[in-house]
Structure 1
Amino acid sequence: MQITGYKSHGVAAAVALVNAVTSEGGDDSDDALRTLLRECGFFWHQFEPDQAAAFREWGGTLRPFFEATDLETAVSLLNELLLRIPMHPHLADHDDPVGLHMHYAPPSADLAHRFRATTLMNLSELVCRHGLSRTGVCAAEDCDRVYADTSRAGRRRFCSEACANRTNVAAFRARQRDAP
């Protein structure tokens, strides 16, 4: 039985944060960060504006992981971060439909630390299970957003359906122009 893995909220949260903080057109305002936390299943009501800088810094720290093109680079980055971010795993069973589950930072830690620990551990689990085949930077021209593929097939190369469709339509039109 798989308890955590590539479909975890920590991976989705890492992608959302990196895109909010480092991508062109991203929104890293306090309200956007609070919304990101809520949508990714974190205790968003604990977010305080003075924590925003820590979230923004973490988004910039994680971007090189998604840009890594070889496993050795990605593993080295994650290992460095695992040494920097203190972990204190514990079991939790708060009012959550998941039931008993693992947290990687104590409840007394601030929200930014719990977020860093969770995203780091879940990205590490993803790499252990799938290598780099499920993460990257969008393949669409002029898009710098990152993605983590949670599909069964694991063939995603775009951050969104919009980027995939735009790229495929452009390729189709180019083939039509080049056809005799």
Structure 2
Amino acid sequence: MQITGYKSQGVAAAVDLVNAVTTVEGDASFAALREILRVNGFFWHEFEERDAEPLRRWGRTLREFFDAAELETAVSLLNELMLELPMHPHLADHDPHGLHLHFAPPTARLPHRFRASTLMQLSELVVQHGLGRTGTCAAEGCDRVYADTSRAGRRRFCSEACANRTNVAAFRARRRTPRTPEGTG
């Protein structure tokens, strides 16, 4: 399975939720969580106030996955979560995605469907690529997480802003370091 297109929405939703719930600059308000659902193609119109806390808890749980430094740790966590979360896969054919697989029944409440979808899609990403495509931003002082679903898979930062800031700082540091003239050192 390829984690692109429709499937990458679950991965992106997991990243957005973890960043909203667990980071210094995150916004875990009802409105922000609803926007995460909307942007990532979930049935946001079904989101109710009582659904907010289960999503926040899920974001805190998934943080452990993104912080995992070793594949064994991440796999163990994902396996534990798959055992805890009852799943009932079924095929669905609703626009705009065409025929695809859901991991919770349509009668399940939105938080359950969200957990099942993000869990399975993160699991598929790990099966395909190990932990090389997920993690915590490499920028100094940034605590946001990322998941790289691109073809190249070389991402280390949560955003272009963090990548640019880090690269500019490295460039400036190199310029401040005095060079030894050739043949004198």
User: Into which bin does the TM-score normalised by the smaller protein fall?
Assistant: over 0.9
Match in the other structure for 2:3: 5
Give the conservation status (yes or no) of the 8 Å contact 1:18–1:62. Answer: yes
Match in the other structure for 2:182: none
Match in the other structure for 1:32: 32
TM-score under structure 2 length normalisation:
0.93
Identity %: 72
Give the conservation status (yes or no) of the 8 Å contact 1:6–1:122. Answer: no
Give the conservation status (yes or no) of the 8 Å contact 2:3–2:149. Answer: no
Structure 1 distance, partners of 2:149, 2:115, is: 20
Match in the other structure for 1:104: 103
RMSD of the alignment, in Å? 1.0
Q: How does 1:130-169 map to 2 (within 5 A)?
A: 130-169=129-168
Bigger RCO (CA 8 Å, 6+ sep): 1
Structure 2 counterpart of 1:160, which letter? S
Structure 1 distance, partners of 2:67, 2:31, is: 27
How far apart are residue 179 of structure 1 and its match? 2.9
* 1:68-94 C-alpha deviation (Å, 9 max, x unpaired): 111000000000000001100001112
Structure 1 distance, partners of 2:167, 2:146, is: 18
* 1:47-105 C-alpha deviation (Å, 9 max, x unpaired): 001110000000000001000111000000000000001100001112x1211111000
Give the conservation status (yes or no) of the 8 Å contact 1:136–1:147. Answer: yes
Structure 2 distance, partners of 1:179, 1:153, is: 35
TM-score under structure 1 length normalisation:
0.96
Give the conservation status (yes or no) of the 8 Å contact 2:3–2:125. Answer: yes
Structure 2 distance, partners of 1:99, 1:32, is: 28
Q: Secondary structure at the match of 2:98?
A: coil
Structure 2 distance, partners of 1:50, 1:131, is: 35
Match in the other structure for 1:120: 119
Q: Secondary structure at the match of 1:17?
A: helix
Q: How many residues align?
A: 177
* 1:105-148 C-alpha deviation (Å, 9 max, x unpaired): 00100000000000000000000000001000000000000000
How far apart are residue 6 of structure 1 and its match? 5.4
Give the conservation status (yes or no) of the 8 Å contact 2:70–2:131. Answer: yes
Structure 1 distance, partners of 2:124, 2:148, is: 14
Q: Which runs of 5+ in 1 are unaligned?
A: none
Structure 1 distance, partners of 2:54, 2:11, is: 18
Q: Secondary structure at the match of 1:155?
A: coil
Match in the other structure for 2:53: 53
Match in the other structure for 2:17: 17
